Structure 1
Amino acid sequence: MHFTAIILLGLLAGVLSSLLGIGGGIVLVPGMIYLLGLPVDKAVGTSLAIILPTALVGVYRHTTYGNVDWKAGLLIIVGSVTGAWLGAWLSRLIPAEILKKLFAGLIVLVAIKMWRG
């Protein structure tokens, strides 16, 4: 994979992450699977490692604009940290092809819901 394409993938993920709250799952995972040839489990793990500093920068900037609801966010963190632990454990039990289909199905369902309002 060409160095410039990898940097552009990261740039796209960073912009979309801070602009729309997306990036890791919707941009990086498919990008690493189809552009870099990574298996889905490695793409997911790598995406999580990449999105951490990206999210921290985005949180900082959105905090300076007053766009963070810390009360709701901290409560959601309790569930999401537990869910992340469980999801990582489950990812070792579910075959990669099924994970890819679950991922695609989730994106389609969310897109339909958002489109309809």
Structure 2
Amino acid sequence: MDTESALSALNALSQSTRLEIFRLLVRHEPDGLPAGDVARHLDVPQNTISAHLATLTRAGLLTSQRHSRLIVYRACLPRLRDLMLFLVRDCCAGSPELCAPLIANLSSCSPSPASCP
């Protein structure tokens, strides 16, 4: 992940409703949720949810798939892992062993690459 991609993802997550949408969809992996269910879970109007889902999708944090009349959204876990690794890649410059357990835990998280484009 490069700096611009990280900034795009962090910017998308920096709004409370979008952060809650992303966290909700992470909890509903691997099946995801239709947009209407996301709106109901968070008690947010459908048109507002659509705008937030679009922002998160443009940032690469969500994927969507049409199922008949429904659009099902899923969290892009590999993208989340890449963002977390980007944030801690250079941590503890003088003592990398301090961050080694965190990086190992993130690296061992191996979500399906098929979940993201």
Q: TM-score range by the shorter chain?
A: 0.3 to 0.5
TM-score (norm 2): 0.32
Normalized against structure 1, the TM-score is what?
0.32
Higher helix share: 1
Identify, as 1 or 2, the structure richer in strand: 2
